[in-house]
Structure 1
Amino acid sequence: MIFARIAGTGGYVPGLPVSNDDLVARGIDTSDAWVRERTGIGFRHLAAPGETTHGMAANAARRALEAAGLEPADIDLIIVATTTPEMIFPSTACLLQHELGVPAGGAAFDVQAVCSGFVYALTIADKFIRSGSHKRVLVVGAEKLSRILDWSDRTTCVLFGDGAGAVVLVADEETGILSTAMHADGSQTSILSADAQMAGGSVVGCPFIRMDGQAVFKFAVKALAEVGAEVLEQAGLGLDGLDWLVPHQANIRIMQATAKKLHVPNERVVATVEKHGNTSAASVPMALDVAVRDGRIQRGQTVLLEGVGGGFTWGAVLLRF
């Protein structure tokens, strides 16, 4: 049988960290204590005006390729998860293909599932590899969320950051990805959205992130706990066989509540939200890369990746690293 295995990870954050106190100094009506108590966030990184989503994706991708011992020419499929592309089209994946120098001919496309985007993209890549049609897939989550933040809305602008994370997925006879699940509920669009559109050359609607924090919290914890249990059951594993939980890095309270429902101790939860904030589709691969590079996640360990975001979308990937 053919399986999909992660051969390398990479991450990238732009510029210097921006603290909660830095935001206060910029005139945002908040405080370090207020943000940390409610979210666990202390810092985030914000891209410079000229820095692009595909440029950040390229930086993370190069590190993942290096870790995998591969060159851009070895990649036969690129999937990019993003909510913040540079343009309506072409896709960020096509821009990334050119930026990296990946030879023309292989497929490249974007996935839009907001904060679940990377989990969706990884699930899709797994299917391509298992089908036998592709052997080496670059999967990236990249976001420049600072471009869609309302800096007068302290309930949202303090939460988000910019960055990118990437993995190289390769075909292997050894089991890598064990099970996956993806779900959506379009009836929940009102609790988290940025509903702007281009019409007649102008922006129509609200171009900024709007969120009902309490509703999102309740939905996210339930969805993440259920989908985590779902992929464990699919793989025939109990929680005692799980080494690490890498959830979407949105809010430390959501992450801890999810871990509690899954009976995963906090010391087995990878949490980078304090340093990166919520980077949407980039958050899971960035957190995974941090834990791989600092030595926590080792080859042979079992890892649960989870995402939940606007749409509403949610999903999980259970893998043996």
Structure 2
Amino acid sequence: MGFAKISQVAHYAPSQVITNDDLSTIMDTNDEWISSRTGIKQRRISQSEMTSDLAGQVAQQLLDKSGIGADEIDFIIVATITPDSMMPSTAARVQAKIGAKNAFVFDLSAACSGFVFALSTAEKFIASGQYRKGMVIGAETLSKTLDWSDRRTAVLFGDGAGGVLIEATSEQHFLAESMNADGSRGGLSSGVVGLQSPFSDQMSDDKFLKMDGRAIFDFTIRDVSKSIAQLIEDSKIGVEHLDYLLLHQANSRILDKMAKKIDIPREKFLANMMAYGNTSAASIPILLSESVDKGIIHLDGSQTVLLAGFGGGLTWGSLIVKI
């Protein structure tokens, strides 16, 4: 048995920026309405790039930044709810793009918890001692699932990808985790899922992502806050030893309320939803990568961070990691 560490980070977003003012020209909304309720000011939208294109850019950056060869990668996990196709997987397409011929690959679908679930899975692969290097990427093109006349959802989401290189190490970096799901409440969010058969009476015209925003908000403040607080308590890692919390970037008001709920200073909750919107499985790794670029997080093992995802499924999960 061994240990795993995050050794490199990267992110990528489409070049097209759609501001709140842009949205006001196609639907009944405005910048004040959106930003006051969500903190979101703009989002990136893919015109021609698919999810695998965004993820492939991240994968290539991870290789370039780390200086390792693609043939050294043992596995690639892509967390996404907007795959290019059901088969081949988005991860398989990424493998082909970077030439990681020795890697086993698969997609993981857990909505906004996807990156945390995938990172937890990757850590177990490395800890087994059988694998040395892997990539975990969260990537979404949610704009392709939206009804752009529905301001309840269209103003919230954006496209992007982020990821990490995870490697074997001799010291423990993954300190504690909590992974959860409640399928009985899965109906609170739904989207474009599965294949439909012309021989089935289950055909549906519902092609767009839908969400009960109020119920999801309440679930997050109640259940996710409790889960994070319990993980911190069980880990015996004092709140004062947490340098930063990187939570799924859904809504700035969620971060405000969660900070009060679990009694942690708000400034420890990093945020970038104002520039990207909700990018589901991509939100945490994009935030992590940007924080490294800005010098907030150092990737030298000197800081302790809590990563937490929550969303459709319902799913929620947290990791405490030395980074």
Identity among equivalent pairs (%):
43
Q: After superposition, where does 1:129-168 map in structure 2 within 5 Å? A: 129-168=126-165
Distance 2:255 2:78 in 1: 24
Return the letter of the residue paired with 2:33. Answer: W
Question: What is the number of residues matched between the two proteins?
Answer: 318
Structure 2 residue runs of 5 or longer lacking an equivalent are none
Return the letter of the residue paired with 1:85. Answer: P
Return the letter of the residue paired with 2:91. Answer: A
Query: Which residue is 1:37 aligned to?
Result: 36
What's the offset of the Cα at 1:227?
2.6
For residue 199 of structure 1, give the secondary structure of its aligned residue in structure 2. Answer: coil
Query: Which residue is 2:305 aligned to?
Result: 303
Q: Does 1:254 align with 2:254?
A: yes
Distance 2:275 2:83 in 1: 24
Distance 1:295 1:168 in 2: 18
CA contact (8 A) 1:10 1:165 kept: yes
Return the letter of the residue paired with 1:36. Answer: S
In the TM superposition, structure 1's runs of 4+ consecutive aligned residues that sit over 6 Å from their partners are: none
Distance 1:167 1:223 in 2: 27
Structure 1 residue runs of 5 or longer lacking an equivalent are none
For residue 195 of structure 2, give the secondary structure of its aligned residue in structure 1. Answer: strand
Superposition CA RMSD, Å: 1.5
Query: Which residue is 2:177 aligned to?
Result: 180
What's the offset of the Cα at 1:195?
5.6
Return the letter of the residue paired with 1:30. Answer: T
Distance 1:136 1:278 in 2: 29
Match of 1:90 among 77, 85, 88: 88
Instruction: Give CA deviations for 1:54-77 in whole Å, capped at 9, x if unaligned.
Output: 110011122223333322221101
Distance 2:64 2:235 in 1: 30
What's the offset of the Cα at 1:234?
4.1
Return the letter of the residue paired with 1:282. Answer: A
Q: Does 1:108 align with 2:105?
A: yes
Query: Which residue is 1:238 aligned to?
Result: 238
Match of 1:55 among 37, 53, 56: 53
Q: What TM-score do the two structures reach when normalised by structure 1?
A: 0.95
Return the letter of the residue paired with 1:169. Answer: I
Distance 1:141 1:223 in 2: 23
Instruction: Give CA deviations for 1:143-187 in whole Å, capped at 9, x if unaligned.
Output: 000010011110100000000001000010122211122100011
Pick closer, same or farther for the CA change 1:60–1:149 going to 2, 3 Å.
same
**Higher alpha-carbon deviation: 203-212 or 75-84:** 203-212
CA contact (8 A) 1:83 1:113 kept: yes
